[in-house]
Chain A
Amino acid sequence: DAGITQSPRHKVTETGTPVTLRCHQTENHRYMYWYRQDPGHGLRLIHYSYGVKDTDKGEVSDGYSVSRSKTEDFLLTLESATSSQTSVYFCAISDSDSTEAFFGQGTRLTVV
């Protein structure tokens, strides 16, 4: 299995509080992604990174920010959590466009 770890795996938080999800990899892959998945939807891209300090927005980036200060860690921050951000969040890594991406096990976030 690819070395990709998401933490925490489960979190319940209150509306308005900041939340940070961490994705850690041991594969030294260049690309890292954050997705969210809601019932009835496929995975939707929030933000992605193509190198240290190089990030870009995905299709549902509003309300989220990311940081990548080193190759192995990609952090997703909800500055002020809202109930609409209740979801399962997946991190993924890949080495290039021609190789497979590996996904973490997901983080279930509930905002109450």
Chain B
Amino acid sequence: DAKTTQPNSMESNEEEPVHLPCNHSTISGTDYIHWYRQLPSQGPEYVIHGLTSNVNNRMASLAIAEDRKSSTLILHRATLRDAAVYYCILLALNFGNEKLTFGTGTRLTIIP
């Protein structure tokens, strides 16, 4: 499976944008890039995903490099509730055999 590399931790001030990087230099052409986050004492929750083009939803934006070897999750205006561990995951398209494989993620701390 293709691997991802994320910083162990990041800090950001409340109400400022946050850019969470992810490197995936061995990504294959059919790998989707997924982001999940895990709030304290909860199960992970889906944030966003994309394949080639940048994506936006109500929670965040996903910027994907042209060569797809890296991506950035953008939280446009961080709140205290965004403090969580963020996971960047590559989901291989192996029809009938999909699985989510988590790394250790980035622990995001929001400073009031």
The answer to whether A42 touches B42 (Cβ under 8 A) is no
Contacts of A54 in B (CB 8 A): 96
Interface residue? A102 (CB, 8 A): yes
Contacts of A101 in B (CB 8 A): 36, 44, 46, 100
A:51-94 near B, CB below 8 Å: 51, 54, 56, 58-59, 90, 92, 94
Contacts of A31 in B (CB 8 A): 98-99
Contacts of A50 in B (CB 8 A): 96-98
Residues in B lying within 8 Å of A, measured CB to CB: 32, 34, 36, 42-46, 49, 85, 87, 91-93, 96-105
Residues in A lying within 8 Å of B, measured CB to CB: 31, 33, 35, 40-45, 48, 50-51, 54, 56, 58-59, 90, 92, 94, 96-98, 100-106
Q: Can you list 29 contacts pairing A with B, beta carbon distance less than 8 Å?
A: A31-B98, A31-B99, A33-B99, A35-B102, A41-B104, A42-B103, A43-B87, A45-B99, A45-B101, A50-B97, A50-B98, A51-B96, A58-B99, A59-B101, A90-B44, A92-B43, A92-B100, A94-B100, A96-B98, A97-B91, A97-B92, A97-B98, A98-B49, A100-B49, A101-B36, A101-B100, A102-B46, A103-B45, A104-B43
